[in-house]
Amino acid sequence: MDSEFIQLKKVSKFFGKNTVLDSIDLDIPEKKITGIIGASGEGKTTILKLLIGFYKPSKGDVLYLRRSMKGEKKNIERYFGFATEEGSFYEKLTVLENLFHFGRLYGMKKSAIKSRSEELINLVGLQKAVHTQADNLSIGMKKRLDVACSIIHSPLVLIMDEPTADLDPLLRNQMLDLIKKINERGTTIILTTQLLGEMDRICDKVAILFNEKIVEQGSPNKIKSKYGKSTLGGVFEKIFSKRIRKAYSESTKEKTKFLKPQNKFELKEKKKWLKLGSKDFEEKEPDNKSEEEKEEEKKNKFKKLRKDFEYLIINEDKKGDK
């Protein structure tokens, strides 16, 4: 049943010659919480924007109940809610005014907006701030208001981009509890976060992005069992350190590195020149570099690669996970 709800089928996304996603497959289970994990710039937010139709796939398709989402803007607006990392509410409107504004945007009747607003204000815990202007709210309250605005129309799917960003541990816990409450009411939730402990705590499924592809997906427990680790932090360190060691090893080989082909034509030409032994596509280091400088450059490349996954184990308790 999971594979019949929301699917990304061989989806690629290009921005000019830059590949952000490369032929990814992802199944989103219904009425569950799915987390998307990856280093900064790996394409997490791009996936979310593909799901809500803000971006169109360069290749592949996004399916909802086996139906392509291409040209389905009205249905996307009806069935999906999107809580952005920055927030989309209006600072100069009160909590209640914001809810009414978004309700009208979704074409809801005044009576429906009123009853739904009362329900959401209680759900997100803003009873004492109903008539407070949004710019006077605390960071945590603003986050909760944004969530309320994104689900005013009772969407079947809520997409959340870094919902706990900029929150202290107490406020993060409150947000996670709110996410679980919304999910318990039957809403499918898809989110991104940089804190692995959060994924382990609330997600039914996680998908790991690395180097433009989804390299792993499944339940947190299943993935931890597969890699013999007790935490997701241990899993990710194992996955990424292996790939980074491979990349570092390749970067230290004493051989000429060729420019990465950007399209099929360049790839064909590159193969042709390789076969002929031509040096036209080579990218050599300057001859005037000392061995010490070359070695330092290799070390810096390794450090840069390692940063791609270091943040993934922030606040992750890895005690006993060796």
Closest CA to 58 of 95, 16, 102, 26: 16
Do residues 112 and 175 touch, judged by C-beta distance below 8 A?
no
Spatial strand order of the sheet with 205-210 comes to 80-83, 157-161, 188-192, 33-38, 205-210, 213-218
User: What CATH number does domain 2-218 carry, 3.10.129.10, 3.90.1150.10, 3.40.50.300, 3.30.70.1450?
Assistant: 3.40.50.300
Q: Supply the DSSP string of 236-286, one letter for each residue.
A: HHHHHHHHHHHHHHHHTSSSPEEPPP-SHHHHHHHHHHHHHT--TTEEPPP
Please write the tens of the pLDDT for every residue from 59-108: 999 998 888 888 777 778 889 999 988 888 999 999 999 999 999 999 99
Please write the tens of the pLDDT for every residue from 208-234: 888 888 989 999 999 999 999 888 888
The two structure tokens encoding residue 292: 């010490």
What integer pLDDT is reported at residue 289 of this predicted model? 62
What integer pLDDT is reported at residue 156 of this predicted model? 95
* Residue ranges per structural domain of the chain: 2-218, 238-313
Instruction: Give the integer Cα–Cα distance in Å for 247 and 62.
Output: 31
Phi-psi region of 23 (alpha: psi -120 to 50; beta: other; left: phi over 0): left
What integer pLDDT is reported at residue 191 of this predicted model? 95
What integer pLDDT is reported at residue 91 of this predicted model? 93
Instruction: Give the integer Cα–Cα distance in Å for 285 and 90.
Output: 52
What integer pLDDT is reported at residue 307 of this predicted model? 52
What integer pLDDT is reported at residue 245 of this predicted model? 54
Do residues 52 and 8 touch, judged by C-beta distance below 8 A?
no
Phi-psi region of 125 (alpha: psi -120 to 50; beta: other; left: phi over 0): left
The per-residue b/e assignment along 127-159, b for 16 or more CB within 10 angstroms, e otherwise, is: eebeeeebeebeebbbbbbbbbbbbbbbbbbbb
Amino acid in position 125 = G
Amino acid in position 31 = K
Reported pTM? 0.74
What integer pLDDT is reported at residue 100 of this predicted model? 96
Do residues 48 and 161 touch, judged by C-beta distance below 8 A?
yes
Q: How would you write the pLDDT of the chain (322 residues) with one tens digit per residue?
A: 455 799 999 999 999 989 999 999 999 999 999 999 887 778 889 999 999 888 999 999 999 888 888 877 777 888 999 998 888 899 999 999 999 999 999 999 999 999 999 999 999 999 999 999 999 999 999 999 999 999 999 999 999 999 998 888 899 999 999 999 999 999 999 999 878 888 888 999 999 888 888 989 999 999 999 999 888 888 878 877 766 555 545 444 433 343 444 444 445 444 443 444 333 333 334 445 667 776 676 666 555 555 544 444 444 444 444 4
What integer pLDDT is reported at residue 235 of this predicted model? 84
Taken in order 217, 221, 222, 225, the sign of the CA dihedral is: positive
Close Cβ partners of 154 (under 8 Å, ≥ 6 residues apart): 116
Spatial strand order of the sheet with 59-64 comes to 18-28, 6-15, 59-64, 67-68
